[in-house]
Amino acid sequence: MGEGGEKAERGKLPVNEQGNLMTATGDENLKDIFHTIRITKTPAVINYGASWCHVCNQILPTFWELSKKFPKLSFVYADIDECPETTQNIRYTPTFHFYRDGERVDEMFGGGDERLHDRLWLHS
């Protein structure tokens, strides 16, 4: 990792070159992201995790790397502790929600680099 701060902090993602990767900073920000996904119908994946979740921290660097391989998808990381109101129905971390045409079309629970890659490929 370079000096540009590319290494992901615990529970946070660096911005990638395509600009299709972001971290929700709170409930209002996540609501705005949902609104943008619905209005623009941008294909997206939201990774719900937590800083205390070991599996979440393991898959976060992969999530970042995959965002560069799938530039047409928007990648969002939302920490359930930072967005408690909008993530109250999330029961497992990590949980991935996939959106197409403004609607949630799929979800995946747990980690697994290959599983995540394959699911992203399916939805890209």
Structural domains of the chain, ranges and CATH numbers in brackets: 21-123 (3.40.30.10)
Mapped onto helix, strand or coil, the DSSP state of residue 55 is helix
Among 4-18, 48-62, 101-115, which is the least confidently predicted range? Answer: 4-18
Please tell me the pTM assigned to this model.
0.86
Question: By percentage, how much of the chain surpasses pLDDT 90?
Answer: 83
Mapped onto helix, strand or coil, the DSSP state of residue 27 is helix
CB atoms within 10 A of CB 37: 22
Q: Which of 13, 45, 50, 56 is the catalytic position?
A: 56
Question: Active-site residue 83, yes or no?
Answer: no
Q: How confident is the model at residue 1 (pLDDT cuts 50, 70, 90)?
A: very low
Q: How confident is the model at residue 26 (pLDDT cuts 50, 70, 90)?
A: very high
Give the Cα-Cα-Cα angle 98, 40, 16 (nearest 5 degrees).
65
Residue 7 has pLDDT above 50, yes or no: no
What does the alpha-carbon distance between residue 80 and residue 88 come to, in Å, rounded to a whole number? 8
Residue 106 has pLDDT above 60, yes or no: yes
Q: Which of 33, 37, 50, 53 is the catalytic position?
A: 53
Mean pLDDT of the chain: 89
What does the alpha-carbon distance between residue 60 and residue 49 come to, in Å, rounded to a whole number? 9
How much is the pLDDT for 15?
Answer: 56
What does the alpha-carbon distance between residue 29 and residue 36 come to, in Å, rounded to a whole number? 11
Question: Active-site residue 53, yes or no?
Answer: yes
Tell me the per-residue pLDDT of 37-96, one tens digit each, with 9 for 90 and over: 999 999 999 999 999 999 999 999 999 999 999 999 999 999 999 999 999 999 999 999
What does the alpha-carbon distance between residue 64 and residue 88 come to, in Å, rounded to a whole number? 24
| Helical segments of the chain, H only | 27-40, 54-69, 113-123
How much is the pLDDT for 9?
Answer: 52
